[in-house]
Amino acid sequence: MCGIVGYVGKQNAVSIILEGLKRLEYRGYDSAGVCVEKGRKLDLVKKAGRVDNLAKAVAKHRLAGTTGIGHTRWATHGGVTDENAHPHVSSDEKFALIHNGVIENYAQIKTFLSGKGYTFQSETDTEVLCNLIAYHYAKEPARTKGHSRFVESVRKTLRHVEGTYGIAVLCVDFPGEIVGARKASPLILGVGDNEYILASDASALVSRTQNVVYLKDGEIVHLTPKNFSISTLDQADVSPVVDKITWSIADSELGKHTHFMEKEIFEQPTALENAMRGRFSADGSTAQFGGLNITASEFREMERFMFCACGTAWHACLVTEHLIERFARIPVEVDYASEFRYRNSPLDARTLFFVMSQSGETIDTLAALREAKRKGYRVMAVNNVVGSSIAREADGGIYQHVGPEVGVASTKAFTSQLLIGAMIALYVARMRDMSFSDGVGYVNALKGAPDLVRKTLKQAAKIKVIAKKYAGYNDMLFLGRLSLFPLALEGALKLKEISYIHAEGYPAAEMKHGPIALVSEKCPSVFFAPKGEIFSKIVSSMQEIKARKGPIIAITTEGSDLPKGVADDVIEIPECHEAVLPIVAAIPIQLLSYYIAVERGCDVDKPRNLAKSVTVE
């Protein structure tokens, strides 16, 4: 959460920072600010509201300079006000600082600093950081061997801090310099042509450079107009590794679409192709993964899998559980990462631990990964963002390769997680008792998924019409069974997060045990009713809803013989293999939620109270 940008170079830092903040807005968008260092003074503009609001204030103020920092906020401590927006400035006006994360011991630090005469303008936890730096700076000898007084003051401060942070700091005594640091909050350094950009996310710097250094936890980076250096909290120098970003600015632009969510929904056929490229064996009967760092025979020894994730990724894990148990006959457990990290769950030596996370920065998922590693388990990550904390800390993993996902509501990342889950199920099943020919059939089915998704997307216009009809309701139920029960949960999550309609997902047969009390003509139900073994049972559940006057949207497979009149609206998806069904079934619920939210006039890409990656607990 929160977006950070810092710039050191020869260009106008303000416009570069504002452009970066605009691209980072999906990380938090309740307030924003920019500060430049100019003529040994700090010049600051910050405002509650969106980056556009800040841009107007910046233009009015004629803010300019070649070194600066900017921030877009997702409030944790303190309400959404101009004062609580970042950057924060120390009470001696020497330091300005932006922060992503939470300082857990801020109250003790504030009491200590208040006793020393430091004053505070905001209700944030962050403001203690710039004042603590100022405090250490005042005490620091003019030059510490090999490192500047500026860097050492930041280092000393961070040694006293409990919590998480990605920070960037300006100091009036060090024109043209920025000090940054991270602990459990992402920070990337872009190495440009005579310029450096520090950002919490590559999207803020990819328009200027594709050469990046992914900072690690506990590292401090010092930028000057001519070079940069990295050291640790313990003062050890670090040799930087410069990586290349493999996607370009065009991948993170809207193009002809109105919203990123719409763009990302329609990108899914290509995203799936990218996620499966090179991942099938030469004989076409199983999956193969390059980055697992675990041999096939070690994989074969595993007797249980544990998956941890949050939100939409957790739903993808539930589908994966179904497919692995169904095809590979290995017990799988799925837990919310936020629960697992505190639950002290028993794991045994033959358990392989997986985390799934689009961003690779979700703090709860990262904490679950660390907890599993602490207990000695090998941890595999399914993750989209190359170089993310989760990708770097896992023992091995599978990248989703779907390019940047900007819309807060996850779509293409979800279906690619479903695809990778289906491939893991195939990989393990083929090591056990799935036959060669069943393997070939499974692989061919997965290869066909992008075209089936393409075909389903052609229903967009019809789904838009249905969405208009249902946009006025305040409650909705999503019902599915087996591998489509998690899709019901996903449908409900998608709808509530972007349209603010109260929605719940249930296994269809559970309705009778309570939720059916909600059913009336005011509460529509979206049913997944694919052809298959329990089709008739699902139809019975639909009849029960119909008998209670509940409107029904049915998502069914072509030629399913859904009895006439049981559903008010029907969306057909192509018939497909069990491993592909959840991927194809995701499309109608994504489109339905999207068009309902648009119809209700909601800000689809920036839903209220949410941010794209949740880097605070």
> Which of the stretches 69-77, 279-287, 355-363, 508-516 binds ligand M6R when contact is defined by CB under 6 A?
355-363
| Minimum distance of ligand M6R from residue 81's CB (angstroms) | 26
Q: Whole-number minimum distance, CB 410 to ligand M6R, in Å?
A: 4
Evaluate whether 74 touches 28 at the Cβ level (below 8 Å).
yes
DSSP state of 280: B
- Judged by beta carbon, residue 132 or residue 493, the one nearer ligand M6R is 493
CA-derived radius of gyration, the chain: 26
- Which CB atom, from 179 or from 598, has the smaller least distance to ligand M6R? 598
| The two three-digit tokens of residue 176, written as one number | 């043209």
Residues in the chain: 617
What gap in Å lies between CA 553 and CA 527, rounded to an integer?
Answer: 6
Q: Least Å distance between CB 489 and ligand M6R?
A: 11
Min dist CB 245 to ligand M6R, Å, is 18
Q: Which of 2, 35, 130, 523 is catalytic?
A: 2
Sole binder of ligand M6R in the list 153, 410, 415, 556 (CB under 6 A)? 410
156 given a catalytic annotation: no
Residue nearest to ligand M6R (CB): 311
Asked if residue 389 lies in contact with residue 217, where contact means CB atoms within 8 angstroms, the answer is yes
What is the rounded CA–CA span in Å between residue 585 and residue 577? 12
In the window 283-312, what residues touch ligand M6R (CB under 6 A)?
310-312
Pick the piece of the chain touching ligand M6R (CB under 6 A) from 359-367, 374-382, 553-561, 580-588: 359-367
Q: Give the separation between CA 614 and CA 32, rounded to whole angstroms.
A: 18
CB 521 → ligand M6R: shortest distance, Å?
A: 29
Binding track, positions 497-516, relative to ligand M6R; x by CB under 6 A: x-------------------
Note whether 214 and 392 are within 8 A (CB): yes
* Shortest Å, Cβ 312 to ligand M6R: 3
Is residue 204 at the binding interface for ligand M6R, with CB under 6 A as the rule?
Answer: no
Query: What is d(CA 592, CA 507) in angstroms, rounded to the nearest whole number?
Result: 20
Residue 164 interacts with ligand M6R (CB under 6 A): yes or no: no
- What is the pairing mode between strands 396-399 and 67-73? unpaired
Q: Least distance (Å) from ligand M6R to the CB of residue 356?
A: 7
Residue labelled with tokens 């001696």: 92
Identity of the residue, 391 or 408, whose beta carbon is nearer to ligand M6R in the bound complex: 408
Is the distance from CB of 514 to CB of 504 less than 8 angstroms?
A: no
- How are strands ordered across the β-sheet holding 165-171? 88-89, 95-100, 165-171, 178-183, 219-223, 228-232, 237-238
- Cα–Cα dist 596/499, whole Å: 7
CB atoms near residue 392 (< 10 Å): 15
x/- site string to ligand M6R, residues 370 to 409, per CB under 6 A?
--------------------------------------xx
The residues near 98 (Cβ < 8 Å, ≥ 6 apart) are 4, 6, 33, 35, 69, 70, 71, 86, 87, 88, 126, 167, 168
Can 612 be counted among the known catalytic residues? yes
Bridge partners, residue 421, by sequence: none
Helix ranges, 106-207 (H): 106-115, 127-139, 149-159
Q: Does the footprint of ligand M6R cover residue 76 (CB under 6 A)? A: no
C-beta closer to ligand M6R: residue 42 or 413 = 413
Position 131 contacts ligand M6R (CB under 6 A): no
Smallest separation, CB 411 to ligand M6R (Å): 8
Report the C-alpha gap between 440 and 603 in whole angstroms.
44
246 close to 401: Cβ distance less than 8 angstroms: no
Selected catalytic residue, list 46, 183, 546, 612: 612
Encoded tokens for 460? 């967009």
Q: What mask of x and - would describe binding to ligand M6R in positions 473 to 502, judged by CB under 6 A?
A: --------------------x---x-----
Q: Which of 403, 613, 615, 616 binds ligand M6R (CB under 6 A)?
A: 613
Decide if residue 359 touches ligand M6R (CB under 6 A): yes
Helix boundaries (H) for 458-575: 460-470, 485-499, 535-546
| Residue 614 near ligand M6R by CB under 6 A | yes
The size of the interface with ligand M6R (CB under 6 A), counted in residues, is 16
Supply the residues annotated as catalytic: 2, 612
| Binding site residues, ligand M6R, CB under 6 A | 310-313, 357-359, 362, 365, 408-410, 493, 497, 613-614
